[in-house]
Every structure is written in structure tokens, then in C-alpha cells.
């Protein structure tokens, strides 16, 4: 099971640690929503299927890299 809790050295969690965890989660959620929105808008474009597929792959790669950058800073 994936543990999404914030790592701490001791059992006390400070307000700063909670704020940092919430900041990372909010940024990840916003990134996910933006990627989904861009994919929806790409699907609405009046271009051929091959071009749509290329743009979808590029958007997904950029989204995954953005999410990974948040995890690296975590």
C-alpha cells in the first residue's frame, strides 16, 4: 500500500511539516487537473488522429515530469 503520509524523524508533526505536505499535495492536484484539462482540449482540436496522439504523449510526459519534480522536492 502506498504511504502518503509525511516522513518525520520523531512522532511530533509540526505545523511547518503539515504546511509543506499540504503544499506538495495541492501542487500535485493542480498539475493533475491541468493535464486532464489540456488533454480534453487537445481531444477537441480539429486535427488528424496522429497529431492528437503526439500532442497527448507530450502533455502526459510533461505532466509526469512535473509530478516527479514535486516528489523529488519532498
pTM beyond cutoff 0.75: no
How far is it, in rounded angstroms, from Cα 8 to Cα 14?
9
Cell numbers placing 66: 512535473
How far is it, in rounded angstroms, from Cα 36 to Cα 70?
18
| Strand (E) or helix (H) holding 51 | helix 49-73
Render each residue's pLDDT in the chain as its tens digit; 74 residues: 555 555 555 556 677 777 777 888 888 899 999 999 999 999 998 999 899 999 999 999 999 999 888 777 65
Q: Helices 49-73 & 15-43, crossing angle to 10 degrees? A: 180
Output DSSP code: residue 59. H
Amino acid at each position: 500500500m502506498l504511504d502518503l503520509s509525511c516522513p518525520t524523524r520523531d512522532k511530533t508533526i509540526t505545523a511547518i511539516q503539515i504546511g509543506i505536505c499540504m503544499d506538495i499535495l495541492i501542487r500535485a492536484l493542480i498539475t493533475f487537473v491541468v493535464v486532464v484539462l489540456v488533454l480534453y482540449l487537445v481531444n477537441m482540436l480539429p486535427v488528424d488522429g496522429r497529431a492528437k496522439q503526439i500532442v497527448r504523449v507530450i502533455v502526459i510526459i510533461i505532466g509526469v515530469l512535473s509530478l516527479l519534480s514535486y516528489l523529488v522536492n519532498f
